[in-house]
Amino acid sequence: RKEVEQDPGPFNVPEGATVAFNCTYSNSASQSFFWYRQDCRKEPKLLMSVYSSGNEDGRFTAQLNRASQYISLLIRDSKLSDSATYLCVVNTANSGYALNFGKGTSLLVTP
């Protein structure tokens, strides 16, 4: 079983739609959680860290459910510029400095 699993998509949504991605992780000792965004042929960039209490940044909301070992990302009022691959990233303390990346979920926002 992979350590971090995501639905690869693609998710095709119209502009203005709300879309949600989920990510599951296998190691219950995982401590740090992030969502990164990666545009085609570009480097990953941090979108937001995910905190236990959940957190919001503008149109983006991240939630963590430790009991069920999943993380979610909600994007409201989708923009064309949101089209990208969204990577779920998890760190486990006993893995040292290794961040475990999911393969990413592809989002395409259409006019």
Which parts of 38-97 interact with other proteins (CB under 8 A)? 41-46, 49, 87, 91, 93, 96-97
Dihedral Cα 91, 94, 97, 100, nearest 10 deg:
-40
Give least dist CB 46 to other proteins, A: 5
Strands 4-6 and 99-101: unpaired
* Pick 5 or 70: Cβ nearer other proteins: 5
The CA distance from 51 to 55, in Å, is 6
Token pair recorded at residue 104: 């990413």
Give least dist CB 99 to other proteins, A: 7
Give least dist CB 45 to other proteins, A: 7
Q: What is the CA radius of gyration of the chain?
A: 13
Residue ranges that bind other proteins, judged by CB under 8 A = 4, 8, 31-32, 34, 41-46, 49, 87, 91, 93, 96-99, 101-104
